[in-house]
Amino acid sequence: MSDTPAISGVLEAALYVDDLDAAAGFYGDLLGLEEVIRHDPRHIFYRAGETIVLLFVAHETRIPPSSDTALPVPPHGATGPGHLCFNVPGDALDDWRARIEAAGIEIEADFRWPNGARSVYLRDPAGNSIEFAEPKLWERRA
């Protein structure tokens, strides 16, 4: 028996963007994610199933919080594109591909992994790699 405490999933995942309006157009309008909170010029957060997608303007997250703040989140931030994969049922991938292409966004890749799971890759307005994949991509194998 392990002494390692349990982890039940990913609560939030962060990507860094340079334009909150462009991010809102992509994640809110195109993908239809529910906006949780927007705080200009720093961030916009969306709900994706059980996970919160945090979209930060990187240089804004490097500013230390003032000492009188109730939310002393330490500075962070990243440079360069990140990656996020959305869990999508296989029978919805063609619909997602059509929606993405109708919005004028290029599909970078659409293929099947050795285990048969399909993935569709594209870029968000900030250049982050966004993937739509069937959940069987990461199913445990016996």
* Residue 33 in domain: yes
* Residue 87 in domain: yes
* Residue 67 in domain: no
The total of structural domains in the chain comes to 1
* Residue 134 in domain: yes
CATH code, 93: 3.10.180.10
Which amino acid is located at 101 in the chain?
E
CB neighbour list of residue 128: distance below 8 Å, 6 or more residues apart: 15, 16, 17, 81, 82, 83, 84
For residue 49, the enclosing domain spans 12-62+79-138
Determine the number of helices (DSSP H) and then strands (DSSP E) in the chain: 3, 8
Is 41 in a helix, a strand, or coil? coil
Note the pLDDT tens digit of each residue in 25-84. Answer: 999 999 999 999 999 999 999 999 999 999 999 888 887 776 667 777 777 778 889 999
Note the pLDDT tens digit of each residue in 52-65. Answer: 999 999 888 887 77
